[in-house]
Structure 1
C-alpha cells in the first residue's frame, strides 16, 4: 500500500531564491539525505512477520524503497534517499552502526526505470482504474465514546461512470497533509534498491555513527543518531467487542507525540468509516508521517489523540456487521541535521493494523455469497478515493 508523494519546490520558491540572498549554509548545500524509519505490527497475527521474511528471502528479498511510508507485513522498515546535486543519481555508500545488522555499510543506488515512470513503489497507486458500478453509500463517523455524536453519520453516495467517481451529496474532503518526503527519480540514490532488497532485522537499531561517501559529496557528511530517532517500539493495539461498542486499548509507545486511529468496514455496497478525531472528518491520509508542527496543532484541536491516551471506544452503532479493519499510528520525532554542504532529515513512526472479522453466524444466503465481490469493489473504490 504505497501512496504517490513528492517534494517539488514551487515556482514561487524559485523566484524568491533568484532575488533574495540565501544564508551561506543554504547556498553551499550540495546534498540532502532523507531517512524514514517505521515499525509496523499486525496484532493477533503472531509469527506472520517471520513467515513473511522467510517468503521474501526465498524470493530473493522483498524490501523496496517506499515501504516505510506504508508498510505491509509486520517488522521494521527503513528508506534512505540521497539527493546529490553535484552528481545527481551517482551511487554512494553509507557506513552504518553495527547494531543496524545490515553489515558495515549500505549502498545507495539510483531507482529502477519503472519507478521513475510511475510503476514503482511510490508511483504505482497514483492512478487507480475503477470499474463502473454503484451506487455505493459512504458513511462516516468520528470521535471516541459510547454514543454517536449529534449530526452523525455524514453520508453521501458515489457511483463510478467511465472509470471516474461521481458524487451525490456532500462528500468528505481529505485533510491537507504536507508531503515532506521525496518522489524518487533518476537524480536520487536509494536504499533498498534492485541490488539489495534485504529486510531490516527485528533487533536493528540506527543509534550510532553514520558516514555517507560518494562522488561529489562533502567529505564531512558524518552524523550521529540518538535513541529518539531510532525505530520506535511496537504499537500493541488490542480490541474488545462489548455491548456498548468496540473498546480499543494500546501500550504507550516511548517517543510518541500523538496517536490517530482510522477504521473501515464494508457491507455489500455500503462503506462505513470512523476515526478517533474529535473535530470532524479525518481520513486514512493521516496514517502517515506528519510534520511535528502539524502534530502539535492537530493534537491541540483534538484531531489527534494526545501522547498520554491509552484507550478509545468506537460507539456500538458505527460497525454492526463485524469488526472493521483498524489502522493506528504513533507519530514519532523529526530531526534535521544541517552542516555546511549537506543536510540529513530523519523521521520515525510506529503503526499497527487489526484485520477485519465477520459478524455473527448468520445463515448463508445468495446475498452473503456475493459479499466478497462487493468488498473487492469497495476496496478499489477506497483506493480511488484516498490513493491507499
Structure 2
C-alpha cells in the first residue's frame, strides 16, 4: 500500500470515528460538545453459528472465539478498543473490568500494539484465480435485468478493481485505532483469555488505565441469539434461503460465493451474489452497523428488513456457482451508547465530554452447499435439520480463497 493510500485510509478512519462518536452522544443532534471526548471506547459483540463457528478462517479466527472450542456449533466473539487523546504515564496500561457473567475473570488487559494492519479488499497474494467473476444481486427466483456483471480476474490481478465492486457507501468503522488515537489499546490480547460460549455482557462495566479517564457504564443488551437457517430447492432451479427471526435484529444481509475447480486444481469462473437489491458487496456492509445505518440501508433495499425471514437465491446463481457454494447470513443488531458527563440541560452551557462508549451487536451464520452432499456447517438441504455438526471452513484451494479473498 502506498503512503498516499495509507493517508487516505487514515483520514477515512478518523471521519468514520467522528460520525460514530456524534451518534453515541445523547442529544448530539441538538448540541455538540464544547470539547472532547478525551477517551472513546468501542465494544463489538458477535454470535457466530454454522461453518464459521469452527474457530478458523475469516471472521472465525481462533483469537476471536472461546479458545477455538465448539459449543453446539455456536461461538461468540468480542472486540474491545480504547482510544485516548492523552499520553500514558509510563508504559500504556488499561483494563476492562467486567461482570461475573462474562466468565473472563476480574479483568482483561487492553494491549497497545506497535502497528495495526488493515486487511485489503480482494484476493490474497498467490490465490488470485484465472477466469471470470460473475456478479449477481437481489432476491428472486431469477436474476434481474443486466445480470450478471462479468469481471475478468486478470484485471483484478493487475490491480484494476472495477468501480462499484466493493461497497463505498458503508465504510468500515472500527472505532478507535492507532491512526486516530494518541494512545490506543485493544483486546483480545496475549493474555490467553477469550470470550466463552456462555459469556454474558449484561451488568456493570468499568475501564481504567493510565492514559484515559475512568469509564463506567451498565449494559442491558447481551450477545444476540444464533441464526437458524434452511435451504430448499424450488422448481425454477433457485434455492429458497429461510431463517428464523431473532430478537433485536434490525435487518438481514445474505451472500453466496461459488465456483469450480478442474482436476489440476485450477479455478474456472466464480460467482458472487448478494441479497442487496442495490448491488452492494464487501466494504463495511458485514461489519457491526448501528440501527440508524441499517434503517437507511433497509429503506434503499440494500439490507433486508427485520420482518424478512426468507430470500430466494436466483436460479442463474445456483447454475453458475458450480461445484462449491458457500453462503452467509448476517443479522444486524442493537447498539448501546454512553457519554460522560451527560449533555447539560442548558444548551448554552459548556459540554466538555470526558469519554464516550459504544457497544454494537450482530449475529451471523454460514454454510457450505455442495451438490450431492448435505449442507455443511448448520445448513441442510431440502428441509434437513439446520443444526448440523460443526464444520471447519477450508483454508486452501477454492474454499480458502472464497473466504479469505472476499472477506467472507
| Same fold, TM-score > 0.5, yes or no | yes
Q: Distance in 1 between matches of 2:122 and 2:143?
A: 35
Task: Tell whether the 8 Å contact from 2:95 to 2:209 is kept in structure 1 after alignment.
Answer: yes
1:31-110 alignment runs, 5 A limit: 31-42=39-50, 49=54, 52=55, 62-63=62-63, 74-88=74-88, 90-110=92-112
Change (3 A) 1:248 1:93: same
129 and 257 in structure 1: CA distance in 2 versus 1, 3 angstrom threshold: closer
- Residue 245 (structure 2) pairs with residue 252 (structure 1): yes
1:65-214 equivalences under 5 Å are 74-88=74-88, 90-111=92-113, 113=114, 116=115, 118=117, 123-125=118-120, 130-131=125-126, 135-159=130-154, 164-166=158-160, 172=165, 174-182=167-175, 184-185=177-178, 187-194=183-190, 196-214=191-209
The answer for unaligned runs of 5 or more in structure 2 is 1-5, 19-30, 68-72, 261-266, 342-353, 374-394
Task: Provide structure 1 residue ranges, at least 5 long, that are not aligned to the other structure.
Answer: 14-22, 54-60, 68-72, 361-371
The alignment partner of 2:318 has SS state of coil
Counterpart Cα distance in 2 of 1:349 and 1:373: 27
1:357-368 equivalences in 2 (<5 Å): 357-358=370-371
Q: RMSD of the TM alignment (CA)? A: 3.6
Q: Distance in 1 between matches of 2:231 and 2:86?
A: 51
Structure 2 CA distance, aligned partners of 1:79 and 1:374?
29
Q: Distance in 2 between matches of 1:224 and 1:342?
A: 15
Indicate the SS of the match to 2:288.
Answer: coil
The total of aligned residue pairs comes to: 329
The answer as to whether partners of 2:83 and 2:177 remain within 8 angstroms in 1 is no
Using the alignment, how far apart are the partners of 1:281 and 1:28 within structure 2? Answer: 38
Relative to structure 1, the CA distance from residue 77 to residue 155 in structure 2 (aligned partners, 3 Å threshold; closer, same or farther) is: same
CA distance 1:107–1:251, shift in 2 (3 Å): same
Distance change (3 Å), C-alpha of 1:147 and 1:255: same
TM-score by length of 2: 0.70
Provide the rounded CA distance (Å) in 2 between the counterparts of 1:42 and 1:183: 30
Q: CA deviation at 1:303?
A: 1.4
Partner of 2:347: none
For residue 286 of structure 2, what is the aligned residue in structure 1?
A: 287
